[in-house]
Amino acid sequence: MSIEELEHTADLRFRVRAPSLADLFAEAARALMQTLYADLRGPATEIRPIDLESGDRESLLYNFLSEVLYLSEAENLVFTEAELKVTPSPPSVVGRLVGRPFDRALHAGGTEVKGISYSDLAIVEANGEFCLEVLFDV
Amino acid sequence: MSEMVKGVTRTGQFEWEVPVGYVPGMRVPGRFYLSDALTGTLEEGALKQLANVATLPGIRCCSLAMPDIHWGYGFPIGGVGAFDLTEGVVSPGGVGFDINCGVRLLATPLREAEILKKAEVIEDLYQAVPTGVGARSSQRLGKADLRSMLEDGASWAVRAGLGMERDLDRCEGNGRMDETDPSKVSEKALQRGLTQSGTLGAGNHFLELQVVDEIYDPAAGAAFGVEEGTVAVMIHCGSRGLGHQVCTDYIQVLEAATRRYGITLPDRQLACAPVDSPEGRAYVGAMAAAANYAWANRQVITHHAREVFGRRFGLAPEDLPLVYDVAHNIAKFEEHEVDGRRERVCVHRKGATRAFGPGAPGLPSDLAALGQPVIIPGSMGTPSFLLRGTEEAMRRTFGSTCHGAGRVMSRSGAKKQLAGRDVREALRRDGILVRAPNDASIAEEAPSVYKSSTEVVRVVHEVGLGRLVARLRPIGAIKG
């Protein structure tokens, strides 16, 4: 699994690779949390459920990351891990996010993410692995 | 121009055209404004986005971009698109996540030499204005307050004792969009809005101390209330998580609507619906509510800044009058001349500033003959500018101009090449003190990651999309 930052002038664009769709979504959530909070270390004390459906897997990813962003900001939580099951058809993701309350002393090293963009959002499957590209508006 | 902009035609000293056919499905050409010195900064991604906008139904005249054009998402940054109200669409991709991100400028009577303990003033501002990731409002807002913010915009804050009536006269649209419909704002967005009123945010948002160091147009400068040698305060922020959530929600809604209305898109971020459709009206109502939140938000921050200047320098709120407040991420209903006749259109400005010329509707009565004050921020180390709107902008760009310098280096590139501490020290040597939660955020926004604000504004001035009034030199900033 890997998270690679790609060039983009104004915003932050990532390429994520993983052996399964579930790992791919979890890694994308990690890229989002690392952008926001930089340091994700520390014990997890909070759990939030995830249960989403969508029309295709790209819009499922958009909805999933938007939900992670919402929960994190609205509830002041830093998610350190995502335990997920992703079903390709019909596209759905269920599972849970685990994390801890935001602590300014630990988590102020990142930058704000305003939203998840659909521009160039893509998930491809090749050579037994999944790859996605996604852009965060910062 | 470089190879990557092949296919683009020069149509004037600063004007370039992207012909129909640059991407499939273009209904009108694209048009942008750049000097030779800036053409090297133009990215292929930005041009493609400019061309993509030209494929949207009901677009009038052309897809436009200002001299700060760069690669964004949906519309390019610096993008302007006007749409017919019957055949045309409205798109969150033409507004962005940070609805009514904007800039306001406050004048002060202080001279730079009177800011004796600048570091302490900067620290006071940093403590007064919640800043950065995870920052929470110092206000305790109830749901009724929030609803009033969404309904009334800046006037909510003035009624709450956080400003003066005159402030409203100096906001674009009096700090309110009439199309607001708070019932179209989701519970999620409301929840985010409750805790973030009066917060600055992060990224490129800032509160900056500046000195008016050159007046180009004394008559306009005097009318706008800026005096050479005095200190000014510039505030750059938007609608915070509430606006971000409105955009997120309505991209989902309009994605489905796009399919229902049989609209083919080159980029899903351009999800849209006819302006005159239930989905289009719902987005406009929610977007306007978020825009009102942003005006209220900048008003609250203004109040905090005035309090700091009150405590430090014994100044009354009236001693820090608002010069003007402009939105640069917004869609508005305006009347413009298109193909020789007056038409009401929906003008999207994504990283572009309204620049209404003399006699345009809605300007403060004492400024009507001069045109609207236009505020163009630079970067932490480069000047910002005050301009006035023009008839030329009304004629060429639906009364629009640029919104800033425009980035040339990615954030990751900036962090690789620049150490935040070095940037901070270099700025300090130039007399600019910066307070931020971390050094990385300073590196990401270093002056060298932006185009030259002076060159961008020169193009604007030469083309006539704004006339220079004053230059403002930075002397300190708080950043998220």
Cβ-defined contact of B133 to A107 (cutoff 8 Å)? yes
User: Which amino acids of B are annotated catalytic?
Assistant: 403
B-chain residues within 8 Å CB-CB of A48? none
Task: Note the ipTM here.
Answer: 0.95
Give the A window 61-80 contacts with B, CB below 8 Å: 62-63, 66, 69-70, 73-74, 76
**Residue B275 distance to chain A (closest CA, Å):** 21
A-chain residues within 8 Å CB-CB of B244? 114-115
The DSSP output letter for A21 is H
Helix (H) or strand (E) holding B192: helix B187-194
The closest alpha carbon to B160, from B131, B180, B187, B140, belongs to B140
Q: Is A114 on the interface with B (CB under 8 A)?
A: yes
Output B41 or A61, whichever has higher pLDDT: A61
The DSSP output letter for B95 is T
Q: Are B176 and B296 in contact (CB under 8 A)?
A: no
A-chain residues within 8 Å CB-CB of B50? none
The values of phi and psi at residue B249, to 5°, are -60, -45
- Alpha carbons A108 and B414: distance in angstroms, whole number: 19
- Alpha carbons B438 and A37: distance in angstroms, whole number: 11
Q: Is A11 on the interface with B (CB under 8 A)?
A: yes
The DSSP output letter for B196 is T
Closest CB to B268 among A7, A63, A118 = A118
Give the B window 288-347 contacts with A, CB below 8 Å: none
The percent helix, strand, coil of chain B (3-state, each to 5) is 40, 25, 35
pLDDT given at position B3: 44
pLDDT given at position B300: 97
The values of phi and psi at residue A120, to 5°, are 60, 20
- What is the residue range of A60's domain? 2-137
Confidence band, pLDDT 50/70/90 cuts, at residue A7: confident
Helix (H) or strand (E) holding B364: none
- Alpha carbons B354 and B389: distance in angstroms, whole number: 8
What SS3 state is found at B188? helix
- Alpha carbons B298 and B307: distance in angstroms, whole number: 14
A-chain residues within 8 Å CB-CB of B126? none
CB atoms within 10 A of CB A94: 15
What are the structural domains of chain B? 3-203+231-360 (3.90.1860.10)
pLDDT given at position A8: 86
- Alpha carbons B246 and B92: distance in angstroms, whole number: 9
Q: Is B244 on the interface with A (CB under 8 A)?
A: yes
Hunting for tokens 């400068």 — which residue is that?
B221
**Nearest Cα residue in chain B from A6:** B412
B-chain residues within 8 Å CB-CB of A76? 134, 136
A-chain residues within 8 Å CB-CB of B72? 10-11, 119
Give the B window 54-113 contacts with A, CB below 8 Å: 70-74, 77, 96-98
**Residue B366 distance to chain A (closest CA, Å):** 38
Cβ-defined contact of A74 to B271 (cutoff 8 Å)? no
pLDDT given at position B8: 95
Whether A85 shows a pLDDT value over 70: the answer reads: yes
Closest CB to B444 among A5, A111, A117 = A111
Q: Are B476 and B407 in contact (CB under 8 A)?
A: no
What SS3 state is found at A14? strand
**Nearest Cα residue in chain A from B77:** A10
Cβ-defined contact of B251 to A118 (cutoff 8 Å)? yes
- Alpha carbons B321 and B393: distance in angstroms, whole number: 27
Closest CB to B412 among A5, A58, A70 = A5
DSSP string, A78-132: EEEEEEEEEETTTTEEEEEEEEEE--HHHHTTS----EEEEEEEEEEEETTEEEE
Q: Is B409 on the interface with A (CB under 8 A)?
A: yes
Q: Are B352 and B406 in contact (CB under 8 A)?
A: no
- Alpha carbons A73 and A77: distance in angstroms, whole number: 7
- Alpha carbons B466 and B217: distance in angstroms, whole number: 12
Q: Which residues of chain B have pLDDT under 70?
A: 1-5
The values of phi and psi at residue B132, to 5°, are 95, 180
Closest CB to A112 among B203, B267, B269 = B203
Q: Is B203 on the interface with A (CB under 8 A)?
A: yes
Cβ-defined contact of B269 to A118 (cutoff 8 Å)? yes
Q: Is A104 on the interface with B (CB under 8 A)?
A: yes
- Alpha carbons B70 and B429: distance in angstroms, whole number: 30
Give how many domains chain A has, as a whole number: 1
- Alpha carbons B368 and B192: distance in angstroms, whole number: 38
CB atoms within 10 A of CB A124: 9
Helices first, then strands: H and E counts in chain A: 3, 7
Q: Is B400 on the interface with A (CB under 8 A)?
A: no
Closest CB to A137 among B97, B136, B409 = B97
Cβ-defined contact of A10 to B72 (cutoff 8 Å)? yes
A-chain residues within 8 Å CB-CB of B411? 11-12, 111, 138
Q: Is A89 on the interface with B (CB under 8 A)?
A: no
The CATH code of the domain that includes A49 is 3.55.10.10
